[in-house]
Structure 1
């Protein structure tokens, strides 16, 4: 068994990103807050650190899920707050993620703007905002913003979903008819 690995992701609200990665088999923990990088993009931006078991969910799956669950091709006005990034912790991970994104570009009609950048610092969010979606699934933000992203996750990547965590999604059984709950 390999040790737990970590990688950072940013691209949309960290509540959304946290909910996405917290819903996956093989993800051990998700730390939600702000990340700065060693590159030119050194301002803190909303992001998460994902600690995962690569024997259960490989980095390729995590990057593909990230690209498909936020606007990875859009340079919108809030991009400084929601930097589209994969934050890496070493040069091997950087090379691997660059290759993954290059390969996945064929799946998108527009150029992927997601950057692969070196992690520098992390600031954890306040306790009452951590695990926000799973602590507050009935809040309007969760129902209107997070749920559609989770439904997209379910439709695109049904085999990596931790269905025990996804009980707040209406009609889960209809979305995942062929998947046996763990």
Structure 2
């Protein structure tokens, strides 16, 4: 099985990692910092997602990404939490633009998510990898990540690997 690679940045990479790890067809998520070849080449929190296109498509991944972070809000932490889709080839770049244009009417405000070329990645330290899976009871996870996963269960339930979020079913 050949996996497709793309990266996403938005909010905290712990949150972004947990969202994508819970999806059917996402086989691997690497958490850390991504830089692009764009003018602003600073690193920001992001994840690399490796997925099986036979199980989940790029449109669904982008739709979930845009819906699970503040993709229409330009706040003071945008350098650290850049809202971005980091493409790895020209086809992904074009497809990502088309998908964002198609999804824009579903949002009340303009999507500010940038489509940037993936250039470099620095992984988080081991202690922060798989953060949610290792620490679902931590206050940060309960306050910030659980609501995102509950949203996924409500809006994208057919795309969620129920075994990865089964602990939420007893609390919702």
TM-score range, shorter chain: over 0.9
Q: TM-score, normalised by structure 2?
A: 0.97
Cα offset, 1:156, TM superposition = 1.1
Cα offset, 1:96, TM superposition = 0.2
Structure 2 counterpart of 1:116: 115
CA–CA distance in 1 between the matches of 2:58 and 2:8? 12
Structure 2 counterpart of 1:58: 57
Where in structure 1 do 4 or more consecutive aligned residues deviate above 3 Å?
Answer: none
Cα offset, 1:41, TM superposition = 2.4
Structure 1 counterpart of 2:159: 160
Q: What runs of 5+ residues in structure 1 fail to find an aligned partner? A: 176-182
Aligned residues: 172
Q: What runs of 5+ residues in structure 2 fail to find an aligned partner? A: none
* Residues 117-137 of structure 1, C-alpha deviations (whole Å, 9 max, x = no match): 000000000001000001000
1:105 aligns with 2:114: no
Structure 2 counterpart of 1:68: 67
CA–CA distance in 2 between the matches of 1:154 and 1:40? 37
Q: TM-score, normalised by structure 1?
A: 0.92
Structure 1 counterpart of 2:138: 139
Structure 2 counterpart of 1:48: 47
CA–CA distance in 2 between the matches of 1:98 and 1:3? 24
* Residues 55-96 of structure 1, C-alpha deviations (whole Å, 9 max, x = no match): 000001000000000000000111110000000001110000
Q: Counterpart of 1:169 in 2: which secondary structure?
A: helix
Cα offset, 1:46, TM superposition = 0.1
Range 147-156 or range 118-127, more displaced:
147-156
Q: Counterpart of 2:98 in 1: which secondary structure?
A: helix
RMSD (Å) for aligned C-alpha atoms:
1.1
